[in-house]
Amino acid sequence: MSDALFAVPAEPVEVSPGAVHVPGWLSTETQRRLVELCREWSRGPAGMRRHRMPRGGMMSVRMVSLGWHWEPYRYSRTLPDGEPVAPFPSLLGELARAGVADAYGAPLASGTPDYDVALVNYYDADAKMGMHQDREEQADVPVVSLNLGDACVFRFGNTENRSRPYTDVELRGGDLFVFGGPSRMAYHGVPRILPGTADPDVGLAKGRLNITIRASGLE
Ligand SMILES: O=C(O)CCC(=O)C(=O)O
Ligand SMILES: [Fe+2]
């Protein structure tokens, strides 16, 4: 991985044990490239869509899954209409491993299951995501989040319930956030987007993209 992929990031900030925010981790060039790739992935086949929640409401966030299809609340090999899931791009696996190494100051142990799934989330100005755990994975591998476009308030909570204590972190375009170890099962969500805060050079005129990269632990 060449150095040009990364900006000179700020120091990692530990939000809680195992949960680390690295502001400004992605270079402008890499952000631009990822925005272009997100556009390609969104077009499909098996492109971006809103999912229905078990109680019937629609999620406000639009999503596309790569590697495995996720919708509330399980992974599958194919979409509900039988379309195959788009492949997991190796670039995202490389970025995830590099992100863990920079956030924690040490690479993942050898033998750690590979990253094999990414969810690309698109938030328009009004979209939000309620407090939840990422618990459909069968492997205890840190979740890596890459952020593009508008900033948001990212609420990072505890492992017991959706309420306090939690920390509100402003995640901006280019930021990395990793949560693993004792924070792997922490509740988290996005209470709001901060419209108009994106760097215009990145090429996302409106909204926020979040790429969350995970190891499913599934065969
Ligand atoms: O958009 C974000 O930063 C969070 C996304 C998230 O928590 C998820 O996709 O499970
Ligand atoms: Fe999540």
Query: For position 5, what pLDDT does the model report?
Result: 66
147 burial (CB, 10 Å; 0-12 / 13-18 / 19+) is buried
Task: Please report, in range form, the residues annotated as the binding site for Fe cation.
Answer: 132, 134, 188
Residue 51 resides in a domain? yes
Distance, in Å, from the CA atom of 219 to the CA atom of 48, rounded to the nearest integer, reads: 24
The range of the structural domain enclosing residue 33 comes to 3-214
Distance, in Å, from the CA atom of 11 to the CA atom of 172, rounded to the nearest integer, reads: 15
Atom of ligand 1 nearest to the CA of 145: 3
Instruction: For ligand 1, say whether the CB of 188 is within 6 Å of any of its atoms.
Output: yes
Per the structure, how many domains does the chain have?
1
Q: What is the value of ipTM here, to two decimals?
A: 0.99
Instruction: For ligand 1, say whether the CB of 176 is within 6 Å of any of its atoms.
Output: no
- Torsion over CA: 48, 144, 190, 175 (sign): negative
Residue 55 resides in a domain? yes
Query: For position 44, what pLDDT does the model report?
Result: 86
Nearest Cα residue to atom 2 of ligand 1: 210
Distance 212 CA to ligand 1 centre (A): 6
Q: Give, for 189, the enclosing helix (H) or strand (E).
A: strand 188-194
Question: 62-121, pLDDT tens digit by residue?
Answer: 999 999 999 999 999 999 999 999 999 999 999 999 999 999 999 999 999 999 999 999
Residue 219 resides in a domain? no
Instruction: For ligand 1, say whether the CB of 187 is within 6 Å of any of its atoms.
Output: no
pTM for this predicted structure: 0.96
Mutate to test the pocket of ligand 1, among 132, 172, 177, 212 (most ligand atoms within 8 A of CB): 212
Distance 132 CA to ligand 1 centre (A): 9
* CATH number of the domain encompassing residue 76: 2.60.120.590
Question: 137-190, pLDDT tens digit by residue?
Answer: 999 999 999 999 999 999 999 999 999 999 999 999 999 999 999 999 999 999
Residue 85 resides in a domain? yes
Q: Which residues contact 67 (CB under 8 A, 6 or more apart)?
A: 85, 86, 87, 88, 116, 117, 118, 216
Instruction: For ligand 1, say whether the CB of 124 is within 6 Å of any of its atoms.
Output: no
